[in-house]
Amino acid sequence: MIGRRAALGLIGGAAGATLLPGGLAAKPARKPPRLRSGDTVGLVAPASAITLPDELDRALHWITGMGLVPRLGAHVSERDGYLAGTDAARAADVDAMFADPEVRAVFAIRGGWGCARILPLLDWKAIAANPKLLIGYSDNTALHCAIAARAGFPTLHAPNAASRWERASWESLWRIAFAGATPVLGGEAVEAAVGRPARAVVPGTAQGRLFGGNLTILSTLMGTGWLPDLTGAVLLLEDINEEPYRVDRMLQHLRLAGVFDRVAGVVFGQCTRCDLRDPDYEGFTLDEVLDRHFAGLQVPVIAGFDTGHVTDQLCLPVGVRVELDAAARTLRMLEPAVA
């Protein structure tokens, strides 16, 4: 007899099919093409304005250093308050990159805030018809989730184009996006190299599609219709500048929404600057908050995985089937992210 959690994993295995109205399953979406040296890639600013003096130059430096040819969105240098241009302008840049047959992948230059604002404006029919790796993290979680829900093809939770592309980030990008490999991500060697040990909150293994990203954005999207079905998923979470009580509040939001009853496992990455350093602070630490939410779950859970607002973060394949081994603190890809 198949147990409840095993059944969730089997359900998650079928989650690549797009659901049509009435619950009928369409054919699985095509996978994005793999990257090759000399490929043209789009650079867009779907969220906050590019304000640092060298931010755009830094993005161009990293992308050309990868052997790729950057193509800037028409509106990346615009500003509308704290946003990189109007919602319509930012959406038009994303649409243009997915529609352009010469563009093989789309990099977000930065995160911040604003991606959720453009979701209703995007041409989802055209995006679904032209699968390409969207590469970025933080606020770009909204785009990763929406593409998983509305288009069904894999994307990469990875440094933004203007982030620092250190060794672990670049090597994982190359293996996933260029070589089309199915690597084991994380583990003791990576933890030692970056100096950030992870820990198994709940040991065990689980398989499912990897969904998620930034905890703040994910919790904000709950109930909006822009999230993929998380049943049987391996849930990815990370954040920055959130005090323990705020992390507690957002995790409780997910708990009350039934998310933790449906997932096959949880990978909690780095929560940068999320522990208070006030010597008089008498509340819970971040680790205590995580343990209180996750230690009682009957699914594998890792905390401190190498992803989030840190240097040398790993590129992780959103929407791809993975195997989580909590004791080893690894994610093993079970299928390529690209064709």
- CA dist 53 and 206 (Å) reads 44
Higher pLDDT, 22 or 207: 207
Task: Indicate the average pLDDT of the chain.
Answer: 92
pLDDT digits (tens, 9 = 90+) for 226-258: 999 999 999 999 999 999 999 999 999 999 999
Confidence of residue 301 (pLDDT cuts 50, 70, 90): very high
What is the CA 184 to chain-centroid distance, rounded?
17
pLDDT digits (tens, 9 = 90+) for 275-286: 877 777 888 999
User: What global pTM score does this model have?
Assistant: 0.91
Mapped to the 3 state alphabet, what secondary structure does 181-198 carry?
A: CCCEEECHHHHHHHCCCC
Helix or strand or coil: residue 315?
coil
Helix or strand or coil: residue 200?
strand
Instruction: List the catalytic residues.
Output: 138, 238, 309
CB–CB of 303/199 below 8 Å?
yes
Q: Which among 280, 277, 291 is positioned nearest to 243, based on CA atoms?
A: 277
The pLDDT, as a whole number, for residue 282 is 82
Structural domains of the chain, ranges and CATH numbers in brackets: 40-165 (3.40.50.10740), 181-333 (3.50.30.60)
Look up residue 149 and give its amino acid: A
- CA dist 260 and 296 (Å) reads 11
The pLDDT, as a whole number, for residue 188 is 97
CA angle 110, 66, 59 (to 5 degrees): 25
Residue 230 CB coordination number (10 Å): 27
pLDDT digits (tens, 9 = 90+) for 160-212: 999 999 999 999 999 999 999 999 999 999 999 999 999 999 999 999 999 99
Is it the case that residue 82 has pLDDT exceeding 70? Answer: yes
The pLDDT, as a whole number, for residue 28 is 56
Residue 270 CB coordination number (10 Å): 21
What six digits make up the tokens of 297?
A: 């779950």
Q: Which among 120, 116, 124, 111 is positioned nearest to 84, based on CA atoms?
A: 111
- CA dist 304 and 310 (Å) reads 11
